[in-house]
Chain A
Amino acid sequence: MRSKVILVLLSAAASVAALGWGLFHGEFAKVLLNGALL
């Protein structure tokens, strides 16, 4: 039980960190460009 809770919190934290990093580095714009170019 405790390990599952720790894992879900860790995976949530890692995913928020990845999303934040991506947004900070302008990947949102790159995805937009990618979609617009297709």
Chain B
Amino acid sequence: MAFLKRRIFQGAGTLLPNAYVQGFLSASLYQGPLKGICTPLFNCYACPSALFSCPIGTMQHFAATGKVPVYAAGTLAIVGASVGRMTCGTLCPFGFLQDLLFKIRTWKGRLPRWAPSLRYAALLLLVFLVPALTQVHWFSRLCPMGTASAGLPWVAMSGSIRAMIGSLFWVKIGILLLFVVFSVLLKRPFCRAVCPLGAIFSLFNRVSFLQLAWNPDTCTRCGKCQKICPVDIRPDYKPASAECLRCLDCTRCPSLKLSTVFHRDPFGEPGLAGKGRGGELSGVPSG
């Protein structure tokens, strides 16, 4: 039931920020006041139906103009401090697409352990450093979500844009295809290894208001939580992991549940807090 509910949220997270259907009908971009709001999602603002701005595109814009993007950073920090990476797991359209692609039955692999650190490099290099040095939004130029939801629709709709197609377009198509294929074989490769938005939110996972709580007394270490986890982690080993998307799929197991940082005893078993944990929150091990 929780799984079905997440799919409904993911569908809403895909449709609602892209509710400007007129953009597709009239081949135009929405330019109203909502475009000034950054969504905490990976949703390209150049998509004809996009109502909101992409926070990563906004940050690049400010880096390219040599300014600090306090508004976009503050928006993301408020979301991150409240729910950690929950928007990645429950609302993000590109995450939804990767979840669906992974459902295709074929050989499945595992992402190397070092791969998640690449997303911090993508954030620092492609979102801040390279745009600051070159005044070009390089992450947005290569972004597979941008290619899928903006590049391809615009090429299909506009003859003048088709005439502008150059080698960069085919590089973008190649990157998109690469991630489509990887998403069939690996669990959420883009979110884990590349997404700069996920990199920002993952910095808050350990200290966000919402936390995943784990009950060591009832957990049998069966590993089923890892099998259903969309990012292939063991929430029982590391409930506050920077990789955790807070999708709550694993809370189907009674040993895991959603809690808050203020809950001293999420499973209602008195006496656990502080005992042998150096004062850590009971059921929410550090990690």
Q: List residues of chain A with CB under 8 Å of any chain B CB.
A: 1-2, 4-5, 7-8, 11-12, 14-23, 25, 27-32, 34-36, 38
Contact = CB atoms under 8 A, between A and B. Distances in A.
B34 to A, nearest CB: 9
A15 B74 contact: yes
Given A1-B264, A32-B33, A38-B57, 7 more contacts: A4-B207, A15-B74, A15-B81, A18-B73, A19-B74, A30-B62, A30-B71
B281 interface: yes
A32 B162 CA distance: 27
Contact of B209 (A12, A19, A34, A35): A12
Contacts of B74: 15-22
A16 B82 CA distance: 11
A15 B273 contact: no
B29 A19 contact: no
Contacts of A1: 264, 273-274, 279-281
A27 B80 CA distance: 20
Nearest to B260: A8
B209 A8 contact: yes
Interface residues of B, number: 40
Given A4-B281, A12-B82, A21 B45 contact: no
Contacts, number: 104
B77 interface: yes
Interface of B: 29, 31, 33, 35-38, 45-46, 53, 57-58, 61-62, 69-78, 80-82, 204, 206-209, 261-262, 264, 273-274, 279-281
B71 A34 contact: no
A38 B78 contact: no
A10 B76 CA distance: 15
